[in-house]
Amino acid sequence: MTATHATTDLKDAEGPAGRAGSTKVAAPRRPALSGRALRTAGFHLSAGLLSALWLLPIALVLVTSTRTFDDIAAHGVGSWPHSFTFDSFRQAWVDGGQQRALINSMLVTIPTVLLSLGLASMAAFALSRYDLPFRRVLLLLMLGGNLLPPQILLIPVSKLSELLGIYDQLYALIGVQVGFGVGFYVFVLHGFMRAIPGEIQQAAVIDGANPWQIYWRVILPLARPALAALTALSFTWIFNDLLWAITVLRTDTQMPITASLIGLQGQYVSMWNVIAAGSVIAAAPTVAVFLRFQRHFVAGLNLGAVK
């Protein structure tokens, strides 16, 4: 009994000491936490400065678009504004032809996005869910087509559109955008659809669904995140395109918004407020699409990689 009580007393004596000792050992961790907080603060400060540096030109364009020509001529473009007006937007919209150019951009962008993603989703469904011959070769050909620099195809595309009799027509630009975009969309959607479990498709087959019903009612709803990301990305790419627009179009009334900005700069050479207003009008649709689908933009960076 004496030995037992002695052992118990020894444990009781060592317990608080051990706990106290462990508390004292944890104390030196505080400088590490302070260093981590400093690194975090430094990162946020650096990111904030870079963001401000990136947003500075955008703020300058916005401020310039709301100034009068006399104010800019008297004080300079980079000076503090002494006036405020929206008349420059009216000049760019009506006199500068931005209204018609924006309509042309929408007439090209919206059908191209719908047609491209529709064709790409059907092709990706067939290549990812069925054992088709030469499907790997087809995927490699689609991927290889996107690796070609578009500059080497400008003259062939222009000559081909002239031979087909569709030169200087908006549907010529739609055809070019669809042709050069479908391959990339198929490659991305193929990686996403391939990751969908096969048991889902087998269950639909047991229920009597045909391939079209499987595509439309099963696979397509499951691929909605990928389609939303590609919709936002493709809208931005097609709407902001300038190269193919000036390749297959010639008439000013057929030009989209990006090509119209070149004419606006030539028409209002020194009127920086009108040019800035036209740039804001041209950027507004893509900014709206980005704000609507911003989380899909981030998710779209991983499509086909993680899946």
Domain boundaries, given as residue ranges, for the chain: 2-65, 88-300
- At residue 228, the pLDDT reads 87
**Distances in whole angstroms, Cα of residue 100 to Cα of each of 195, 204, 244, 253:** 43, 48, 18, 7
pLDDT for the residue numbered 30: 53
Span 57-81, average pLDDT: 90
pTM over 0.75: yes
87 Cβ neighbours under 8 A, 6+ residues apart? 68
Question: What integer is the mean pLDDT of 220-240?
Answer: 90
User: Contact, 223 vs 60, CB < 8 A?
Assistant: no
* Contact (Cβ atoms closer than 8 angstroms) between residue 219 and residue 201: yes
Assign 244 to helix, strand or coil.
coil
Cα–Cα dist 189/128, whole Å: 9
| Tokens representing residue 104 in the block | 């042309």
User: What number is the average pLDDT over the span 193-201?
Assistant: 91
**For residues 288 and 10, which has the higher predicted lDDT (pLDDT)?**
288
CATH fold of 88-300 reads MetI-like fold (1.10.3720)
Question: Is residue 20 pLDDT above 70, yes or no?
Answer: no
Dist CA 29 CA 46 (whole Å): 26
Give 9 or 97, the one with higher predicted confidence: 97
- The pair phi, psi for residue 169, each rounded to 5°, is -125, 145
Determine the 3-state secondary structure of 16 from DSSP.
Answer: helix
Please say if the pLDDT value at position 114 is more than 70.
yes
Q: Which residue has the higher pLDDT, 111 or 9?
A: 111
Compute φ and ψ for 57, nearest 5 degrees. Answer: -65, -35
Is the pLDDT confidence value at 255 over 90? yes
The answer to whether 280 and 62 have CB atoms below 8 angstroms apart is: yes
C-alpha to C-alpha distance for 249 and 270, rounded to whole angstroms: 27
State the pLDDT confidence band at 304, using cuts at 50, 70 and 90.
very low
Mean pLDDT value of segment 109-129: 95
The pLDDT of 214-230, averaged and rounded, is 91
The one-letter code for the residue type at 87 is D
Which residues, including other chains, have CB under 8 Å from residue 102's CB and lie 6 or more apart? Answer: 257, 281, 282, 285
Residues in contact with 79: Cβ distance below 8 Å, sequence separation at least 6, in sequence order:
none
**Token pair of 189 as six digits:** 């959607």
Residue pair 288/242 in contact (Cβ under 8 Å)? The answer is no
